[in-house]
Amino acid sequence: MENELNIAKINLTLENGKKVSGQLQFSNAQLIINDTLINTLLTQMGIGGATIKSCNIDLGANNIAVNIRDYTLTETIYFSAFYNMPSNISIFQSTGTNVHIVNQKIDLLQLDCQTILLADCQVRQFDVGLSEHHKALMQSSKEQNPAIPTAYKMKSLDIRGCHIETLKGYVECDNVNVQESSIRSLCFYGGLGSSVPATIKRLNIWNYSEIGVCEIHCTVTDFIVKDSSISTVVAKAKCKLEKITVTDTEILNAHNFDKQHFSSINLAAWSLISKSAENDNNSSLKAEANYQIAKETYKQEKRLNKITGTLFGICTGYGYKPMRIIWAFIVLIIFACAILSAKFCITHGCIPMEQFIKYLVISIAAIAGQSGLQLKDGFEFWVATTEYLAGVILFAMFVNALYVRYKD
């Protein structure tokens, strides 16, 4: 049975702006792109030795392996589908040459280059920087030097409108952009096997992207998630998020996050800490995180809601510090006693100790709903009644706080 005929249309732009193209037809299962291939094509066109500015390849192939190696003619090669029909590529590899890949189906994608653009592609496994990472690991092992960086340094990883099963990045990168894409497993390993930490300066997941599991083993300077969803975020040993911004996004679950994983802790960071604490059955950390979440949430309220929230925070820690209510009861008793004593001093002068003790007993009894309400009328009656009603509110807060704090 004859092998299926594959097509690669190579479109070149020369230094003088002239555009030329040639078409390769091949039945073998591998396409090796290097300087020799392009120079041979130029020679066949009668322009051998010409300098090219750009290289665009339209692929129409099935079950082939694409390997870019020993290519120096341009910094980037652009790949697209032949007549908008995506190819089925078993393995796509590039070392040193930047690639822009559009509308392809790739089983295994392995790239070690400075800039990558992947658009409208379906990829089963995508490894970024793996080859260079292995080389660095071998060098580190040979020299027995853990200070050798093992993360491959690159500039940009741009993923748009793609469906990816697994993406593993062994890189240090200036910018990672994921938009309108679905990735089942997204892992940034950074510099595994090295004592030198790796950094992703900007990780931007946005525009209705869907991430299954996101594992972070490195430092992320600016982590932005907007209009997207992430099922689970996992912090690994070297994870450090210097800044995190989450907008109109649902993060369902988180693991291993603690305060040490953040340079500055905001509402989004506390949310990850809370979810992690719940999974680790760390009730004290969960209570602290939920307290901070409530505190930040009430700060955004306006007018009456903000005043109510402030009182709720002072009295019960927004439900997560119920023991604060004891101090609230003590302050209320002292305050009521002070009002009664001040009224007596204004009317009769210096208050005797016996009268002060009487007012203190009235305040204590009133907050407990006892003898304070037996007063018939007058100023003492209304102070005691007001204190009693305030006590009822505080007790309701206390019961609510106990439920919130210990319901799990």
Q: What is the pLDDT of residues 125-180, one digit of tens each?
A: 999 999 999 999 899 888 988 888 889 999 999 999 999 999 999 999 999 999 99
Nearest CA-CA partner of 250 in 269, 270, 232: 232
What is the pLDDT, as a whole number, of residue 1? 38
Judge whether 218 and 261 are in contact, CB under 8 Å. no
What is the pLDDT, as a whole number, of residue 401? 74
Q: What is the mean pLDDT of the segment spanning 217-236?
A: 97
CA torsion 222→226→229→230, rounded to 10°?
0
Residue 318 to residues 287, 290, 298, 398, 400, Cα–Cα distance (Å) = 10, 9, 9, 10, 10
pLDDT at 384 over 90: no
Which of 55, 87, 119 delimits the end of a domain? 87
Are 129 and 275 in a shared domain?
Answer: yes
Which of 87, 104, 137 delimits the end of a domain? 87
Distance CA 379, CA 339 (A): 10
Are 75 and 109 in a shared domain?
Answer: no
Are 396 and 309 in a shared domain?
Answer: yes
Residue 395 to residues 310, 334, 357, 368, Cα–Cα distance (Å) = 17, 17, 24, 10
- With a pLDDT cut of 90, the percent of the chain lying above it is 61
Are 56 and 127 in a shared domain?
Answer: no
Maximum Cα interatomic distance, the chain, rounded to a whole number of Å: 116
Regarding predicted confidence, which is higher, 44 or 379? Answer: 44
Regarding predicted confidence, which is higher, 342 or 195? Answer: 342
Give the pLDDT band (50/70/90) at residue 2. Answer: low
Are 104 and 180 in a shared domain?
Answer: yes
Count of residues making up the chain? 408
Q: Sign of torsion, CA 46 49 51 56?
A: positive
Phi, psi at 286, each rounded to 5°? -65, -45
Q: Which residue has the tokens 């099922």?
A: 231
pLDDT at 371 over 70: no
Are 107 and 242 in a shared domain?
Answer: yes
pLDDT at 362 over 60: yes
Report the half-sphere exposure of 152 (CA within 13 A, side-chain side). 25
Are 182 and 288 in a shared domain?
Answer: yes
Judge whether 159 and 106 are in contact, CB under 8 Å. no
Q: Which residue has the tokens 């009456």?
A: 304
- As a whole number, the mean pLDDT across the chain is 90
Are 29 and 156 in a shared domain?
Answer: no
Are 295 and 196 in a shared domain?
Answer: yes
What is the pLDDT, as a whole number, of residue 102? 98
Regarding predicted confidence, which is higher, 241 or 297? Answer: 241
Which of 87, 116, 144 delimits the end of a domain? 87
- With a pLDDT cut of 70, the percent of the chain lying above it is 96
Q: Give residue 318's identity as a one-letter amino acid code.
A: Y
Residue 237, SS3?
Answer: coil
Q: Sign of torsion, CA 387 393 399 404?
A: negative
pLDDT at 385 over 90: no
What is the pLDDT, as a whole number, of residue 368? 75
Give the pLDDT band (50/70/90) at residue 372. Answer: very low
Residue 391, SS3?
Answer: helix
Tokens of 291: 């307290």
Judge whether 87 and 81 are in contact, CB under 8 Å. yes
Lowest mean pLDDT of 165-174, 303-312, 328-337, 364-373, name the range.
364-373
Regarding predicted confidence, which is higher, 12 or 148? Answer: 12
- Other Cβ atoms less than 10 A from the Cβ of 289: the count is 26
Domain enclosing residue 225, as ranges: 88-299
Lowest mean pLDDT of 52-61, 219-228, 235-244, 308-317, name the range.
308-317
pLDDT at 94 over 90: yes
Are 280 and 346 in a shared domain?
Answer: no
CA 315 to chain centre: 33
pLDDT in tens, 242-296: 999 999 999 999 999 999 999 999 999 999 999 999 998 998 899 889 888 888 8
Are 79 and 186 in a shared domain?
Answer: no
Regarding predicted confidence, which is higher, 212 or 237? Answer: 212
Are 347 and 199 in a shared domain?
Answer: no
Contacts of residue 349, defined as CB under 8 A and 6 or more positions apart, other chains included, come to none
Q: Please count the structural domains in the chain.
A: 3
Phi, psi at 333, each rounded to 5°? -60, -50
